Chains A and B, each alone.
Chain A
Amino acid sequence: MSLEPTLSDTQLAAFSEALAEGRIDHDGLAADYDADADTYRIETPDRQTTVSAEELPVDAEQAAYISNWYFYTRTVDSEVTWAFCRWLEAAAERPVPDRYAALDAGIEREWGQLGITTTISEDGTRHYELRHVDDGDADATTLTPHTDPFEARDIGTLDAKGRYRPLRTAPSLKQGWIFPDLTADKLYEAVEAFYPATVVNWYREQQGELDVDHWRDEQDRQSGIYNLITVLPDEAVDWAAAACCDDSQCLKRREWQLSDDEPLDAESGDGVFPCREPCSMVVAAGREWAKLEREDTRTYEFELTPSEKAQIEELIDVVADGAVDEIREADVGEGANRYRVRYLREKRVDEQGNLSGTPTDPEDEPDVDHDGD
């Protein structure tokens, strides 16, 4: 590797101090201090040495193991950040020397729409660069630099078109910014600001301790105006999850179901971080749908050409997929093209706004005999 791991006096002092207290066993490094001989016995996967304090470290590889110990035990102060940083450098997959070589080149990971690149200094200090995944290839000088991790909150408030993002885990994070060099703790804060509570919940899941609250738990807890959701039919919960929690709408991987033994059919998604209970957006939407689901169906009769029927279906698709803006002004061949929709409205929607002149409520039936044209 081109990186030449070294140890500072501070790191060496911390190492000796820690060994005076007891044995170290960390990430491939095992070490202890023999007080009688005043020597250190240091073991790494490929080698074992017994040396005096002055001889430390015997080589670059040993320095790497010790600086790795120092970074994780002396500069990262929470177990959650610790686990997150290890995940970022895929620590479980590579022993320290390989990892240092990879970190020298930079290890990239994705967290939702965040692209996080970890690099390393010779003394083992990690540096984290954070930017939008879609800015991965952008020249850093073209992106707006930030250093304060709490600015992530403001970056995430509005989307690229200036619209408010009530769901911070929606895949609508705007591009154009960069945090070029964050410490582990600041990186954690920035990620927390972009995607609140995702790291802690991911960590709980890693530990096998994710506490999932299913839809029925949510229903039981609701009071006040939200207890309407208690009447939402079960199949509607599936539609709601498919509508709101799909990867195209939210980057969390939905782990909640109808109940522990009643899974939903909707896809859970492939997100790295889990969703452990229905969020307030889904609950608010569920309340709306509960109201709508109280209506019975009716049979309507509409006059449409086959292309018009297909156009209405296309319109639904385009709106549901948020693709309205992708339709070009003059592309009248597209069902959701504005001119095409205006034409349909002129032709098929009457002055009361009724499709095909058919009133929504049969009581509003106009007092004329209509024979279908």
Chain B
Amino acid sequence: MQSLVIVAHGSHLNPDSAAPTHAHADTIRETGVFDEVRTGFWKEQPSFREVLRTARGEDIYVVPLFISEGYFTERVIPRELRLEGWDPALWESDGISADTATLVASDIDKEVHYCGPVGTHEAMTDVLIRRAVSVTGDDEVGEGFGFAVVGHGTERNENSAKAIEYHTERIRETGRFDEVRALYMDEEPEVDDVADHFDSEDIIVVPLFIADGYHTQEDIPEDMGLTEDYRTGYDVPAVVDGHRIWYGGAVGTEELTADVILERAADAGADIGDAIARVRQQTKPTTGAVGE
């Protein structure tokens, strides 16, 4: 029996924070490859401290639904899950290459496989591209388009910028988009001046965030000038300084993110059969319906 445990931040104020976690848990549950899929949160119930005791499997895979390696994935989660002998060095990561570590969780006296965060897995690049497709409604989108991956910046965590750079570079390597840039909320190059950083008339903007909330729904749309007041909403695309901005919101809400969670568990040894392929197929956006 194998269990998947997805751990995420959650919120005391905003129900949208946990929504992607629940949605991806449901998607994975439907594939039937795990005997159970549990979710645990920093701010909601069940807490990180108690989530492992809700899991019954012999093989337990813990996947953090977080964007970067840092304070949460290296300190808070291992401490709260009570992973004996945890040391971030076990991941042998340069900040974006965490894979998995197998440790006894003293809460349940059993070994668990503690995986790196979803945000730094290479498959997350595909999710960013999938979001470009879903926000434009065009399966073939790429030519004539610029792509901005947006992050917090280094202020709070150096690795968060590394994750942004990493996916930006990987999207660039596909050669699919005319231009690909990393932009930040609190440092240069800033998302506020998005139009200044691109020649392309059409720019897709996708924040590398797990859930929609204050930053992705209020801050970024207002800073980019998509709207004066987030409460009145914004158009997709919205015209700013002669560019059409296709703003995608937090990438973590893209259904394909479920796939990255599966990849993380598979990398740690979970037997998931063809679930990845099935999720890819199932989460495909019905293109052509989105847009103006």
Question: Bound pair: A and B?
Answer: yes
Given known contacts A166-B43, A167-B45, A280-B43, is B54 in contact with A196 (CB within 8 Å)? yes
A197 & B22 in contact (Cβ 8 Å cutoff): no
Q: Which residues of A contact B15 (CB under 8 A)?
A: 157-158, 164
> A26–B124 Cα gap in the complex (Å)?
52
Q: Which of B6-14, B143-151, B196-204 lies at the interface?
A: B6-14
A-contacting residues, B28-67, CB 8 Å: 29, 42-47, 49-51, 53-54, 56
20 contacts between A and B (CB under 8 A): A153-B22, A158-B15, A166-B12, A169-B45, A196-B45, A197-B45, A197-B46, A197-B51, A197-B53, A200-B54, A201-B53, A204-B53, A221-B79, A223-B75, A223-B79, A224-B75, A276-B50, A280-B42, A280-B47, A281-B12
Q: Which residues of A contact B56 (CB under 8 A)?
A: 78, 80
A-contacting residues, B152-180, CB 8 Å: none
Q: Which residues of B contact A200 (CB under 8 A)?
A: 50, 53-54
Q: Which residues of A contact B75 (CB under 8 A)?
A: 223-224
Main SS of chain B's interface residues? Answer: helix
A279 & B12 in contact (Cβ 8 Å cutoff): no
> A115–B280 Cα gap in the complex (Å)?
40
B22 & A196 in contact (Cβ 8 Å cutoff): no
Binary per-residue interface labels of chain A (267-290) against chain B in the complex, 1 for a CB within 8 Å, 0 otherwise: 000000000110111001000000
Q: Which residues of B contact A111 (CB under 8 A)?
A: none
In the complex, whether B186 has a CB less than 8 A from a CB of chain A is: no
Q: Which residues of A contact B14 (CB under 8 A)?
A: 164
In the complex, whether B71 has a CB less than 8 A from a CB of chain A is: yes
Q: Which residues of A contact B50 (CB under 8 A)?
A: 196-197, 200-201, 276
Given known contacts A197-B50, A280-B12, is B71 in contact with A168 (CB within 8 Å)? no
In the complex, whether B241 has a CB less than 8 A from a CB of chain A is: no
Q: Nearest residue in B to A285 (C-beta to C-beta)?
A: B12
Q: How large is the interface on A (under 10, 10 to 19, 20 to 34, 35 or more residues)?
A: 20 to 34
Q: Which residues of B contact A192 (CB under 8 A)?
A: 54
In the complex, whether B26 has a CB less than 8 A from a CB of chain A is: yes
Specify which of A158, A196, A223, A224 lies most central, judged by the most chain B CB atoms within 10 Å of its CB: A196
Q: Which residues of B contact A168 (CB under 8 A)?
A: 44-45
In the complex, whether A339 has a CB less than 8 A from a CB of chain B is: no
B79 & A279 in contact (Cβ 8 Å cutoff): no
> A167–B11 Cα gap in the complex (Å)?
10
> A276–B50 Cα gap in the complex (Å)?
10
> A279–B48 Cα gap in the complex (Å)?
11
B-contacting residues, A192-247, CB 8 Å: 192, 195-197, 200-201, 204, 213, 221, 223-224
- Nearest-neighbour CB distance to chain A for B41, whole angstroms, equals 8
In the complex, whether A15 has a CB less than 8 A from a CB of chain B is: no
> A268–B11 Cα gap in the complex (Å)?
26
Q: Which residues of B contact A277 (CB under 8 A)?
A: 49
In the complex, whether A150 has a CB less than 8 A from a CB of chain B is: yes
B44 & A197 in contact (Cβ 8 Å cutoff): no
Q: Which residues of B contact A284 (CB under 8 A)?
A: 12, 43
> A280–B11 Cα gap in the complex (Å)?
10
Q: Which residues of A contact B53 (CB under 8 A)?
A: 197, 200-201, 204
B-contacting residues, A141-170, CB 8 Å: 150, 153, 157-158, 164, 166-169
Q: Which residues of A contact B45 (CB under 8 A)?
A: 167-169, 195-197, 279
> A164–B213 Cα gap in the complex (Å)?
14
- Nearest-neighbour CB distance to chain B for A147, whole angstroms, equals 15
> A196–B46 Cα gap in the complex (Å)?
5
B-contacting residues, A51-86, CB 8 Å: 78, 80
> A169–B15 Cα gap in the complex (Å)?
15
Q: Which residues of B contact A197 (CB under 8 A)?
A: 45-47, 50-51, 53-54
> A198–B13 Cα gap in the complex (Å)?
22
Q: Which residues of A contact B71 (CB under 8 A)?
A: 224
Q: Nearest residue in B to A276 (C-beta to C-beta)?
A: B50
- Closest 4 pairs (CB-CB, A-B): A196-B46, A197-B46, A166-B12, A197-B50
> A201–B54 Cα gap in the complex (Å)?
9
A164 & B13 in contact (Cβ 8 Å cutoff): yes
Q: Which residues of A contact B11 (CB under 8 A)?
A: 166
Known: A197-B50, A223-B75, A280-B44. 4 other contacts (CB 8 A): A166-B12, A196-B50, A279-B45, A284-B12
- Nearest-neighbour CB distance to chain A for B71, whole angstroms, equals 7
Q: Which residues of B contact A223 (CB under 8 A)?
A: 75-76, 79
Q: Which residues of B contact A153 (CB under 8 A)?
A: 22
> A153–B23 Cα gap in the complex (Å)?
11
Binary per-residue interface labels of chain A (128-143) against chain B in the complex, 1 for a CB within 8 Å, 0 otherwise: 0000000000000000
- Nearest-neighbour CB distance to chain A for B224, whole angstroms, equals 27
Q: Which residues of B contact A279 (CB under 8 A)?
A: 45, 47
Q: Which residues of B contact A195 (CB under 8 A)?
A: 45
Q: Nearest residue in B to A284 (C-beta to C-beta)?
A: B12
Instruction: Select one of A166, A169, A280 contacting B13, CB under 8 A.
Output: A166
> A339–B14 Cα gap in the complex (Å)?
32
Q: Nearest residue in B to A157 (C-beta to C-beta)?
A: B15
Specify which of B13, B47, B51 lies most central, judged by the most chain A CB atoms within 10 Å of its CB: B47
- Nearest-neighbour CB distance to chain B for A13, whole angstroms, equals 25
> A164–B56 Cα gap in the complex (Å)?
29
Instruction: Select one of B13, B29, B44, B47 contacting A150, CB under 8 A.
Output: B29
Binary per-residue interface labels of chain A (285-312) against chain B in the complex, 1 for a CB within 8 Å, 0 otherwise: 0000000000000000000000000000
- Nearest-neighbour CB distance to chain A for B167, whole angstroms, equals 27
> A224–B49 Cα gap in the complex (Å)?
17
- Nearest-neighbour CB distance to chain A for B36, whole angstroms, equals 9
> A313–B33 Cα gap in the complex (Å)?
58
